[in-house]
Amino acid sequence: MKAICIASFVFSCIALAVSLWTYKQADARAERALQRREQAIVHRYEPVVDRICKDFGLEDGPRDPRTFEELLDPLSGLLKDLDR
């Protein structure tokens, strides 16, 4: 009887460890997928943002952006000019 209890405890611990490992792996895969999607969107809209910057006379357009923040940062110059 004691052996069955110990075996069940060991298998429960193993199952818990496997589930935690699987959860972390799924989370890491989802994070990588989101980063790839963000880079694809940034790559697609980089020419559009660059054209907007040139149309409004901003000197520094996006330079090899990899995130939304890097892509949209040059557009903050438009807001700075509004308070003049």
pLDDT in tens, 12-29: 999 999 999 998 899 899
pTM confidence score: 0.66
Q: How far is CA 73 from the centre of its chain?
A: 17
- Asked if 61 and 53 count as a contact pair (C-beta separation under 8 A), the reply is yes
The pLDDT-based confidence of 83 (bands split at 50, 70, 90) is: low
Give the DSSP H or E segment for 31. Answer: helix 2-55
Looking at residue 57, its pLDDT comes to: 84
Least confident of 5-9, 33-37, 74-78: 74-78
| Cβ count near 62 (within 10 Å) | 21
Q: Could you give the residue ranges of the DSSP H alpha helices within 56-75?
A: 68-72
Residues 6+ apart with CB under 8 A from 74: 49, 53, 58, 60, 61, 62
